[in-house]
Every structure is written in C-alpha cells, then in structure tokens.
Amino acid sequence: MKNKDKTYKLPNWKRAVIKVGSALIAPENDSTSMKYILAIANFINECMKNDKEIILVSSGAAASGRAMQTNIPKNVPVSIPRKQAFAALGQIQMMQKWNALFDVPCAQILITHDDINNRRRFVNAKNAMKELLKLKALPIVNENDTVAVQELKVGDNDNMAAHVANIVEADLLIICSDIDGLYTKNPKKYNDAEKIHIVDQINDEIRAMAGISDNPVATGGMQTKIEAAEKAVTRGIDTIIINGTKQETFIEMLKGNQPGTLFKKYSNPKAAKKHWIENGIKCEGILYVDSGAKNAIIQKSASLLPSGLNGIEGDFFQGDAVKIIYKDEGKELEIGKGIVQYSSSELEKIKGKHSEEIESILGFFSCKSIIHRDDMVVKK
C-alpha cells in the first residue's frame, strides 16, 4: 500500500471470464446505456484479436426490460414475478446491445444455480462453452432470472462469474466494479481509505473490509466480489477487481498492467470435484457426528461411517449434499460437507450401527460409508 506509484503486472493468462454488472450496464438506474460497455467491448475485441479467449458474464436484462415499460414509475419496488418478467423482456435487448459491439459471433447461455448444482448439467455446460471457444465465438452468460427466484438476491452474478470461471477452467476472473479495487475502507465515504493492490490470501481481515453496495440496481457489493474471488482462487484462478467505469483501466490491462486489486490464485488449488462439492452444490440437510467420527475425518481424512452418526436434520436423498457438524457442549463445529450415499429416512434406521448391519436393516447395500472421503470437503 506504500508503493502508490508502482506499476503492478497482470499474471499471464490465455482464458478469462469478465463479469459486468448492472451498475455499468444501467448506470442511470432505469435503462441500459453504452456509457461504460463500449470500452469493455473494445477491450474484449482486442484480447480476442490477440488469441485470448473470453467469456462474458453480463447482468442488465432486468434493467433493460424495466426501461421498456415507460408507464411504470421509476424507483418503485416491484415483485419477484415482475422482476422475472422484466428479465425476460430485457434479455433480447441486452444481447442486441452486446452483439453490435463485437467482431465475432455471440452466443447466449442462460444458467441457474440448479445447473451448477447438478453434476451432469455442470459438465454439459462446460462442454458447450469450450466448444464455443473453439469456434472463436463469445459466450455471453447470464443468470436465468425468469425461472430463478432465490438467485435474484444479493451476490447473483459475482458468484455466477466465479462458477463460470470454474466451469471453463479459466486462468483469470475479471470482476468489473465502480471503484478501483478493494480498499481498507469505503473510499466513497472515507478520505483515508487505502487501496490494496495484491491479496495473497483471503482471510477474516480481508472479508471485514467488504461493504454493501449503494447502487440501487446492483445485486451485490464488495462482499460478494470477495466471495467470488475466494471461489476462484481456491480453484487456481487469479482474480482481479477493477473499475469498469474508467476507460484507462482497460488501456492499462491491454498493456499487461494490473490497475485494480489482484487476488492471487492458491498454489495448491482444490481438485475440480472437491471444489464443486464445496461451492457448486447446495446443502439439503445436516449430519451430526460423534467425537470419534470428527477426529477420524479431520485427522485421518477418513470416510464417515454410520457408527459415527448420532443425529440427522432435513429431508434429503442419496446424492444430495449435507453439512457435517459436531456438537460440543451446545456449540456446533462445522467439520465439512459431502455427498450422502443414503437418504435421510434410511440414515435414521442405520445411524450408530456398524456398516456390516446396513443390508440386514435396509434390505439393500449401497456403500459401507455414509459419505466417502472422495465425496467430502473437510474444513481445516
């Protein structure tokens, strides 16, 4: 933070995901604009001319759709179904704006967290996007807001971009914001806020610096950008938060310079499946384990056996993800997360039992472990 005049370099990259949010696409809060996206499009065109591969994650459909409805008053809260209708109306408008700015074919991809949650659909999305890159096309990804209700909440496309970066195995995730990067405080409110140029590891101190977005059309603030960065760096993807409102930002990046905050990728990234379990699939329940199971999982990376299970919460099925929790004098310690081999109703019958008893109790046998260690992510 002391080297204010120092030039920081971007890491080498071949494939990048660029996330552009509503604050850049609809800066006036009620309609889409070319004000900022022209410079972003020029940057993407230049990168692709130099044989770089780009995937664009774009917000703005709902803002575009709302702008078409001139009879609806501005800045009036609307229902989730109305937001979904706006998104459906605006999706075509948004794509037309982007398509007119590029020298290559554009492809629209609409996905939801359910597509990420389902391993088969996750792989299908990966295959489709990689094939589009082979065709020298520009995939433009957006949350399918017409059918996704919960995902319209805070964090939508920041985290979506991190998932897309993982899906396409990107080298770099670029998150466009309306400030120059991560600061020690909110630079719009505090004059003594200092910019952090490099983040080697995302910890509680870094997370505490995140604030809430003041922009009424944005669905996420710095907090969700750090969440997205954490998802990416743990998978071995460098992540940069930049100011997308400044043309010079993209000029510097074309020179190979790093004008924002770089979150450096971890040197020992998680394997693809483990990363998907941790970040891509939602928990449907909780398994409570005893001290023996807790120690075996944490210290020996062991599988979870039915003998170590003493409580179940939730209604889930084989193949769902669950949290693994140990209770100690009323306090709950989250040990990890994993994919179960038996349903909640089946686990109620075999909890505390030995693996050899499973078949006689249930009448069938799937696996001697409730969660195999290969299907488990442990919190250290």
Residue 70 structure tokens: 């001139």
Do 63 and 30 touch, CB atoms closer than 8 A?
Answer: yes
Q: What is the pLDDT of residue 148?
A: 62
Q: What is the pLDDT of residue 221?
A: 75
Q: Kindly list the distances between the CA atom of residue 358 and the CA atoms of 306, 342, 367, in Å, as whole numbers in the listed order.
A: 9, 11, 9
pLDDT level of residue 32 (50, 70, 90 thresholds): confident
Q: What is the pLDDT of residue 63?
A: 79
Greater model confidence, 14 or 210: 14
Of the candidates 211, 150, 133, 136, the one whose C-alpha atom is nearest the C-alpha of residue 178 is 211
pLDDT level of residue 260 (50, 70, 90 thresholds): very high
Q: E strands, 80-157, where?
A: 106-111, 138-143
Do 15-274 and 282-378 come out as alike in CATH topology? no
Greater model confidence, 311 or 32: 311
What is the residue-averaged pLDDT of the chain? 87
pLDDT level of residue 249 (50, 70, 90 thresholds): very high
What's domain 15-274's superfamily in CATH?
Acetylglutamate kinase-like (3.40.1160.10)
Taking residues 196-202, what's their average pLDDT? 93
CATH class of the domain defined by 282-378: mainly beta
Query: What single string gives the DSSP state of each residue in 286-348?
Result: EEEE-HHHHHHHHHH-PPBPGGGEEEEES---TT-EEEEEEEETTEEEEEEEEE-SS-HHHHH
Greater model confidence, 250 or 72: 250
Q: Phi first, then psi: what are they for 94, rounded to 5°?
A: -65, -45
Q: Which of 6-10, 133-137, 324-328, 331-335 has the lowest mean pLDDT?
A: 6-10
> Is 301 a residue whose pLDDT tops 60?
yes
Query: Hey, what amino acid is at 268?
Result: N
Taking residues 209-228, what's their average pLDDT? 66
* pLDDT tens digits, 55-86: 999 988 887 888 788 777 777 777 888 888 88
Q: What is the pLDDT of residue 380?
A: 67
> Is 152 a residue whose pLDDT tops 90?
no
- The total of other beta-carbon atoms located within 10 Å of residue 70's CB is 9
Q: Kindly list the distances between the CA atom of residue 63 and the CA atoms of 73, 114, 136, 165, 179, in Å, as whole numbers in the listed order.
A: 13, 23, 29, 24, 21
Residue 192 structure tokens: 């003594």
Do 292 and 308 touch, CB atoms closer than 8 A?
Answer: yes
Taking residues 198-216, what's their average pLDDT? 76
Taking residues 253-270, what's their average pLDDT? 93
Instruction: Show me where the domains of the chain are located.
Output: 15-274, 282-378
- The total of other beta-carbon atoms located within 10 Å of residue 75's CB is 7
